[in-house]
Structure formats: structure tokens, C-alpha cells
A = this chain, B = another copy of it.
């Protein structure tokens, strides 16, 4: 129990909640005063950690009563393979996602099938277009089309295209995504898209459009993912009033 930061404390509390090592039979957490007697942090640090937990949906806090664990007896929400956590939330567990087909090419602005909602580009701007067909547990799961800004990402190797692009960009090039604008829609599948999912043309797809930005506010990439509607559920916990 040395040198607890907000992150550490939040992780520690989540660990205890998951293990059932904290809270009484009714799911009531120790009070803040009690927690402060356990963990050598200031109330500010504790409350930041608790706030993080409540934003993630692990607990809820009630003025005058205390903090309560959600899902203390019964299980966590039935998050299945294929479900997508939209906050850094209750979604856990490894996903067995693989890339079965990928292509990459340099395109001009005018050749992009869509553009980010904000940025204006010079006419001679180019993008690295990456298209990937990916499976979840060996079943067709998603089709992704992404455009990366070449001046920022540099070269994209074949190995990077196998797994998580953003994880690879973070590890290999210290390019960390700081915030994302997301647009969620549903549209009919084209014939080519439907073929990958073994569906018919015109059947639904769940579509997620992302514009990903670096810490310095620069656009890193923008993408569109079509999910097989039978396999994908986006999950979100929304805390109001904070």
C-alpha cells in the first residue's frame, strides 16, 4: 500500500469490488471517512477515484446515504463477445478479433468515401486508406475503412494492420489518441459488404464513424466501421449531473 494515485486507487477498488472483498451484504461501500482510514490519500484523491468508478458504472453515490455497488450479488451486465464498451467501463475480457483481409493504398482527398466532420483539407492532401475485414471468434464481424494522415503516421507496416492500429501507433510511434468524435448510424449493407457477413444486400449494418485526435488536437485518422448487426452491441453507461 505505497504511494496511491487516483488511478491506483480506482484500480484497487475495482479489484476489490470484483473479488467481493468490499461492501456489505446490501452492496453498501464503506463511507468516504472509513475509506480514508484505510487508504493513505486525501479526500480529493479518494473522491476522484470514486467518481471514476461511478462514471464507469461500478458504483453509484447518494448524498446522505453512501456509495453502493451495482451488481453486487447478481452478475455484471451480460456483456458478450462482440459487445463494445463505449466508455472505459464494465466491458472486460479478451476479444478474439482477427484480420482476415486487409488492403492499403494512398488516395487523394477526392477519392475518400467520407470525410471527417470538421477538418478542411488542401486539395493535394493525401490519406493512407486502410480497409480491413475482421472476424470475432472466426465469424465475420466487421468491415473497417480508415484514413490516416500520412504526415503524422508515416509508414504503416503490414504487421500493424493485423491487430489494433491505434495500439500499434501508440507503441511504435508514440502517437496517442486523446479524444474521439463518434457518430453512430445504421444503414443497409452494400452487396460487397453483405457478402462478407453472409447476409443479403440491404440488410442492416451498425455503423460507427470515428474521428480520432491526438493530444495536440491534430486529426490522426478518421474511420468507418460496419458491424454485423447480429453480433455487435454498443454498451454505454451514462451518469447524469456531473
Question: A residues engaging B (CB < 8 A)?
Answer: 54, 57, 60, 62, 65, 68, 70-71, 74, 77-78, 86-88, 117-118, 120, 177-188, 202-207, 213, 215-217, 227, 229, 232-241
Q: Are A185 and B78 in contact (CB under 8 A)?
A: no
Instruction: Find out whether the CB atom of A57 lies under 8 angstroms from the CB atom of B202.
Output: no
**Residues of B contacting A62 with CB < 8 Å?**
215-217
Q: Which residues of B contact A78 (CB under 8 A)?
A: 117
Decide if B179 touches A238 in the complex (CB within 8 Å): yes
Given known contacts A184-B206, A229-B186, A229-B187, is B60 in contact with A217 (CB within 8 Å)? yes
Q: Name 10 A/B residue pairs within 8 A (Cβ), A-sorted.
A: A60-B217, A177-B240, A181-B236, A181-B237, A183-B233, A183-B234, A184-B184, A184-B233, A186-B232, A204-B205
Query: What distance in Å separates the Cβ of A212 from its nearest Cβ neighbour in chain B?
Result: 10
Instruction: Name the B residues within 8 Å of A215 (CB-CB).
Output: 60, 62
B182 and A205 contacting across the interface, CB-CB below 8 Å: no
Q: How far is the CA of A7 from the CA of B155 in the complex (A)?
A: 45
User: A52's closest neighbor in chain B, by CB?
Assistant: B242
Residues on the B chain within 8 Å of A70, using CB:
118, 217
Q: Are B236 and A182 in contact (CB under 8 A)?
A: yes
The distance in angstroms between the C-alpha atoms of A196 and B235, with both chains bound, is 27
Known pairs A178-B241, A183-B234, A188-B203 / 6 extra A-B pairs, C-beta < 8 Å? A70-B217, A179-B240, A180-B240, A186-B205, A186-B227, A204-B205
| Residues A71 and B118 in contact, CB atoms below 8 Å apart | yes
Q: Which residues of B sit under 8 angstroms from A65, Cβ to Cβ?
A: 216
B residues in contact with A60, CB < 8 Å: 178-179, 213, 215, 217
* A57 adjacent to B179 (CB under 8 Å): yes
Residues of B near A117 (CB, < 8 A) are 77-78
Query: Which 8 A-B pairs rank lowest in CB-CB distance, beginning with the nearest?
Result: A204-B204, A186-B186, A186-B206, A184-B234, A182-B236, A186-B229, A186-B204, A180-B238
Are A86's CB and B204's CB within 8 A? no
* Most chain B Cβ neighbours within 10 Å, of A213, A232, A233: A233
Known A183-B235, A205-B186, A206-B184; contact A178-B217, beta-carbon cutoff 8 A: no
